[in-house]
Amino acid sequence: MKLRELLREYENQLEEGQRDAYVPKVLFYHLANKEPHELYLMMDEEVDQSIEEEFRKGMNRFLDGEPIQYIKGKETFFTRDFTVNESVLIPRYETEELVENILYKIDDYFDQYKEIELCDVGTGSGAISITLALEEPKLNVIATDISEDALVVAKKNALDLNADVTFYQGDLLQPLIDLDKKFDIFVSNPPYIPAMQDIESVVKDNEPHVALFGGEDGLYFYRKIFNDVKSILKERALLAFEMGFDQRELMEEAVEAAFPHIPYEIIKDINGKDRMLFIYYHLDDQRNT
Ligand code: GLN
């Protein structure tokens, strides 16, 4: 069968179901190990039998509702390819913005530091911790997750991408408390979707719920972190979180209760939605002296 015909067959099915009709091309160039522009030159060539079989299997999984990232086993984050599977959340574009903002804040507040201790709690695929370690060599990065299966993926990503990150298994801050270490920067993208919130079925039916749902109002894990985190922070520290777009008021309440008189900021993502929380824990006190 010619590539053009094979792609068309699935594009038609997807268009009928009003779904993303670019997915067949994306899957094919992934399987054939080609760049998009090379695909265009191959349209009238016969498709290799074994690739066709794999492609049909993958397309059927997609038609059954699986995310294309799990089918490919990859997602790009900050220009790098990360391995993903059902044990980890698929890295989101919004989270690249969190990483970008953390890098800016490092320049703002830690420019004079020779080494910076950073931890990432609930690292999942390792997208945040590995990217930060690769982008900012001054960072010493420790990452944790409660899920052993997620850590298998994160460790593979660190190895494949040659990133120096140390991983620990455990519940929230516990592994860090056990280490008896203090951090300059605390990062987390905890599960923050309220338990009863209706979310897209492609997310709900495929991605790990342990990485998605954050209790009744979505803030369960933030409150737990806020309560315990001071014991693992250095005297001056930056805390950086991803958060849900509809959580500003609740988040302000939770931050102000746990960190009275400490400055903080909620930053919007590129879509204009509240998405990132930064807490400046005694940061300015020393910058001015
Ligand atoms: N941003 C993810 C979603 O909306 C949720 C990630 C999280 O809970 N940390 O699907």
Map 159-185 to HEC letters. HHHCCCEEEEECCCCHHHHHHCCCEEE
pLDDT for position 127: 98
Top mutation candidate among 69, 70, 84, 89 for ligand 1, by most atoms within 8 Å of CB: 89
Average pLDDT estimate for 39-57: 94
Average pLDDT estimate for 133-154: 98
pLDDT for position 19: 85
**Distance, C-alpha 87 to centroid of its chain:** 13
Residue 183 has pLDDT above 60, yes or no: yes
Q: What is the pTM of this model?
A: 0.95
| Span from the CA of 197 to the centroid of ligand 1 (angstroms) | 12
Tokens, residue 281: 């824990």
Please work out whether the CB of residue 192 comes within 6 Å of at least one atom of ligand 1: yes
- Contacts of 67-76 with C-beta under 8 Å, sequence gap 24+, read 67/202, 67/203, 67/206, 67/207, 68/23, 68/26, 68/27, 70/206, 71/27, 72/26, 72/27, 72/30, 74/30, 75/125
Please work out whether the CB of residue 266 comes within 6 Å of at least one atom of ligand 1: no
Residue 39 has pLDDT above 90, yes or no: no
Cβ 111 vs Cβ 69: under 8 Å: no
| Span from the CA of 97 to the centroid of ligand 1 (angstroms) | 14
Average pLDDT, the chain: 96
pLDDT for position 224: 98
Residue 96 has pLDDT above 50, yes or no: yes
Give the contacts of 264 (CB within 8 A, at least 6 positions apart).
255, 277, 278, 279, 280
Average pLDDT estimate for 274-287: 87
DSSP string covering 206-222: TS-GGGTB-TTTS-HHH
Please work out whether the CB of residue 92 comes within 6 Å of at least one atom of ligand 1: yes
How far is residue 269's CA from residue 256's CA, in Å, rounded to a whole number? 22
Average pLDDT estimate for 225-235: 98
pLDDT for position 285: 60
Please work out whether the CB of residue 51 comes within 6 Å of at least one atom of ligand 1: no
Give the contacts of 67 (CB within 8 A, at least 6 positions apart).
90, 202, 203, 206, 207
Q: Would you place residue 289 in the very low, low, confident or very high pLDDT band (cuts 50, 70, 90)?
A: very low
Average pLDDT estimate for 120-149: 98
Point out the ligand 1 atom lying closest to the alpha carbon of residue 200: 10
Most confident of 17-31, 32-46, 68-82: 68-82
Top mutation candidate among 212, 247, 270, 271 for ligand 1, by most atoms within 8 Å of CB: 212
Point out the ligand 1 atom lying closest to the alpha carbon of residue 122: 9
| Span from the CA of 141 to the centroid of ligand 1 (angstroms) | 23
What is the Cα gyration radius of the chain?
21
- Locus of tokens 């009928």: 16
Point out the ligand 1 atom lying closest to the alpha carbon of residue 207: 10
Q: Would you place residue 11 in the very low, low, confident or very high pLDDT band (cuts 50, 70, 90)?
A: very high
Bridge partners of 237, per DSSP, are 281
Please work out whether the CB of residue 203 comes within 6 Å of at least one atom of ligand 1: yes
Please, what is the end-to-end C-alpha distance for the chain in angstroms? Answer: 72
pLDDT for position 191: 98
Q: Would you place residue 210 in the very low, low, confident or very high pLDDT band (cuts 50, 70, 90)?
A: very high
Please work out whether the CB of residue 204 comes within 6 Å of at least one atom of ligand 1: no
Residue 12 vs residue 36, higher pLDDT: 12
| Span from the CA of 127 to the centroid of ligand 1 (angstroms) | 14
Q: pLDDT of 247-265, one tens digit each?
A: 999 999 999 999 999 999 9
Residue 201 has pLDDT above 50, yes or no: yes
pLDDT for position 288: 43
